[in-house]
Amino acid sequence: MRHNKVLYFFFAALLIFQTFLMFYFNRGAVFNSYDIGYWKDRFEHSQWEMPMSQRIIGDDGLYAYVGLGLINGKDPSLVNPEAPPLAKYLIGLSIVLFDNPIFYSLVVGFACIIVYFFLAKNFLKDKFFALFTSLVLFEDPMFFSQFFKSWLDITQLFFLLLNLSAFYLITNNSRRTLWSMVSGLALGFFTQSKFPILLPIIFIFETYWFIKNKLVKEYFWFLCAFGTGIILPYLRYFALGHSLIDFLRLNKYIVSFYLKSQLTTHYGAFLDSLFLGNFPSIAGAGIDRVYEWTLFWPLSFIISLFLTVKWLLKGTKDKFIKYIGILTMISVIVFSLIPSYPRYLLLVLPFTYLLSAYFIKNLIKGKLQAILLILIPIIGLLNCWVYLIPNPRQTLNDFYYNLSNQYFQDIYQEDIANKPSGFTREGFFELSKRAMLGAQIENIEVKELNENVPLFSKIGSAKILVTYDTWNLGKFSQEKFLTLIRNDSQWKIEWNWGILLNGFGPGDSVKTMVEFGKRGGLFNGNQALAQDGNGYLISINPAKMDPLDEQNMLSYLKQLSGVDGVRLRDTYSENVIPNTYINLFTTNYPLSAQELDKLEAFKGLLVSSHQTRLYYGTVSFQSVKNTGYYECCTRLYSPANYHGISGLEKEYDDVLSGQSGGTIVITDQKGRTLRIVLDKPVKNGNNVHLSL
């Protein structure tokens, strides 16, 4: 096919328009400033610092915060050592220079396109098809979405493309030594950008290539450059006094971390993402939709598979083409056998598109080829447009998660459009959290009833049902309407204080008044086995605690409560109002004077009288569990929420169950009742007498 200037201008116009769309629909992210205070708090209270924390920090937030720490001189072995440091250094540098991590990915992303064009030109031996292939990749949502995330994948892709481009030139250029060094250095940087799952495959193939072509000198320089690429990102590590032995131990730890990962392997899930755009959630049950999916993914893979099998069976003069095909197929197999994310496709799609372009160039001729060369970029642009149109779903899901877990600081930072006047992030969190504490709300469940967001509209709405689980009074539900606003290409929620509790305002207070009911007792004749009685509530104020005595305290609290010390520590550290007492557990057997004295000797601990479930003799407190609301890290008794899960407590649960009564009210600044949120009567359970 003869390529005229019209098609060149057509492709160039699409590239420019695609760039415009990307920046227009992501302009909010581009102009954001990096909030170091927020991300410091987010990281220090995330799963990386508190193993039981539900305040998850995503990879982009993690790598930006860690990268800034590394660029400011922190030891790479002490801050997120699980991931190699090179890309994180680049992200940190972007924050220092531009106050935004996004500029890192923008620069690396466009660099990928430039290197990919030259790789495609050498691979296809045609500038026109190289431009066409680069446009197809640029229009792929899995690729261009990386431009606005501080992830590691885009950097690893860049160095893989650079490695392959230089590797091709080793046997097709007179400057073999130079390109051997570039290829080796790029492979070393590939290794230190992100955990290099594909490194063994690439290294074996390229070593075989050098040996087969008897390029001994070039292979020596390749290995030297490869080693340099591995060592260079750790210069700061060595400057801090670490030895080569320490470095080897660190890399052993990185490998063992991934080998021992507890993520579930869904065999074949990677293929499901590739062909259908569905992906089983790694963190739990259910299916996640891969929003970046396009029909080009399965079509390009099928073409690539066909060509690779053909070359394996019949051979080809160009061995580099066969290498690309085999590398692509093995990569898909590897990712299908390990815990993986759909974005791992970023290391596959550029090569399926390259092989598909080869197929169109050499095996399709005439008008059909011309139609495909025009139609494919147009469809790609439409896919891009559909993907980029702002969708409120991510904002809503994020808001529901934050509300459910009472992460009000994250709601303020990420989810709402109108920051309440006069409130900082910390003040917003404290007021919201105090309202929940006043209502004794331990858990929140959000169910979306409907969503109404007209296409191309800047305003939408959602109706939700919020169910609150309280410590003493059980559950109650409220319906709420959320107003959605699109601002700077991002959907946000218009905040009103009634989202916390219907009728609540920023000057109001929430109070709970309880009339304690009782769970029935278990008796063997006249001997009590288990019954409600006067016990103790153990609380802690972390600000008053002695850090040097913390481990001794946690060890003793575990002995009394049966709750692991790590879980207890998360309870009073993860999402709490500063300088307040946090409830940890209620005792389950009568405490001796010596035990009380020991508890009161720990600074920051508060021991107060409280109704609890007391066990005597051989009956264990492990037979009772809170089934009213999720409670990972405490053991707080109330007759409304505790039910037997084994033994006698379970067998007679219907008879024993009771319910505390009381009211939850919203009051104004003068203490006047504005609204009764909940009013429940008291109900006592019945005793059970046994003959054991």
Distance CA 64, CA 101 (A): 6
Q: Cα separation of 438 and 447, whole Å? A: 23
Report the b/e string of 117-150 with b at 16+ CB within 10 A. Answer: bbbbbbbbebebbbbbbbbbbbbbbbbbbbbbbb
Strand-strand pairing, 624-626 and 642-644: antiparallel
- The answer for residues whose C-beta is within 8 angstroms of residue 390's C-beta and 6 or more apart is 25, 486, 489, 490, 491
Q: How far apart are CA 223 and CA 685, in angstroms?
A: 76
d(CA 345, CA 334): 12
Q: Which pLDDT band, with edges at 50, 70 and 90, does 267 fall under?
A: confident
Dmax (CA) of the chain: 101
For domain 522-658, give its CATH number from 3.40.190, 1.20.1530, 3.30.70, 3.90.1310: 3.90.1310
4-7, Cβ contacts within 8 angstroms, sequence gap of 24 or more:
7/128, 7/373, 7/374
Pairing of strands 582-586, 527-540: antiparallel
pLDDT of residue 461 exceeding 60: yes
Which pLDDT does position 482 carry in this prediction?
Answer: 97
Give the C-alpha separation, 92 to 65, whole Å: 8
Count other C-beta atoms under 10 Å from residue 296's C-beta.
Answer: 19
Q: Which two tokens stand for residue 278?
A: 């569905």
CA of residue 103 relative to chain centroid, distance = 21
Chain-wide mean pLDDT for the chain?
91
pLDDT band, residue 524 (cuts 50/70/90): confident
pLDDT band at 374 (very low <50, low <70, confident <90, very high): very high
Amino acid at 319: K
Measured distance CA(338)–CA(340) in Å, rounded: 6
Q: What is the CA radius of gyration of the chain?
A: 31
Least confident of 31-35, 158-162, 301-305: 31-35
Band (pLDDT 50/70/90 cuts) for residue 315 is: confident
Q: What is the pLDDT of residue 257?
A: 85
> In the chain, what percentage of residues exceed pLDDT 70?
96
For the segment 617-642, the average pLDDT, to the nearest whole number, is 69
> From the centroid of its chain, how far is CA 302?
31
Distance CA 574, CA 458 (A): 36
Instruction: Give the full edge-to-edge strand order of the sheet including 490-494.
Output: 441-452, 459-470, 474-487, 490-494
At 668-682, the pLDDT tens digits run 998 999 999 999 999
Give the helix/strand (H/E) hosting 349.
helix 349-363
Predicted confidence (pLDDT) at residue 627 exceeds the cutoff of 70: no
Most confident listed range (525-529, 535-539, 614-618, 635-639): 535-539
Q: Where are the domains positioned within the chain?
A: 393-507, 522-658
Return d(Cα 121, Cα 116) in angstroms, integer: 8
H-run or E-run covering 515: strand 509-515
> At residue 32, does pLDDT exceed 60?
yes
Q: Of all helices (H) and strands (E), which one includes residue 486?
A: strand 474-487
| Burial class, 466, CB count within 10 angstroms (exposed 0-12 / middle 13-18 / buried 19+) | buried
- For the whole model, what pTM was predicted? 0.89
Residue 517's CB: how many other CB atoms inside 10 A?
23
Sorting pLDDT into bands at 50, 70 and 90, what band is 629? low
Q: Kindly report the CA angle at 682 between 681 and 686, in degrees rounded to 5?
A: 140
Q: Where are the beta strands (DSSP E) in 256-383?
A: 278-280, 287-289
CB contact at 8 A, 21 and 385: yes
Beta bridge partners of 492: 485
Residue 163 to residue 143: CA distance in whole angstroms: 19
Structure letter (DSSP) for residue 686? P
Tokens of 76: 């790479």
The pair of three-digit structure tokens given for residue 99, joined into one six-digit string: 């106050």
Q: Which of 263, 266, 189 is nearest to 226 (CA)?
A: 189
Say if strands 278-280 and 642-644 run parallel, antiparallel, or are unpaired.
Answer: unpaired
Quote the pLDDT of residue 415.
Answer: 95
Lowest-confidence segment of 75-84, 207-216, 235-244, 611-620 by average pLDDT = 611-620
Angle formed by the axes of helices 153-170 and 176-191, to 10°? Answer: 160
Which CATH homologous superfamily contains domain 393-507? NTF2-like; domain 1 (3.10.450.100)
Between CA 626 and CA 643 the distance in angstroms is: 6
Mean pLDDT of 267-272: 86
pLDDT band at 1 (very low <50, low <70, confident <90, very high): very low
278-281 contacts, C-beta under 8 A, 24 or more apart: 279/341, 279/342
| Positive or negative: CA dihedral 525, 529, 531, 536 | positive
- For residue 3, the model assigns a pLDDT of 54
Cβ neighbourhood burial of 489 (10 Å; 0-12, 13-18, 19+)? middle
Listed residue (106, 86, 109, 110) closest to 98, CA to CA:
106
Q: Would you give the end-to-end CA distance of the chain in angstroms? A: 94
pLDDT of residue 318: 79
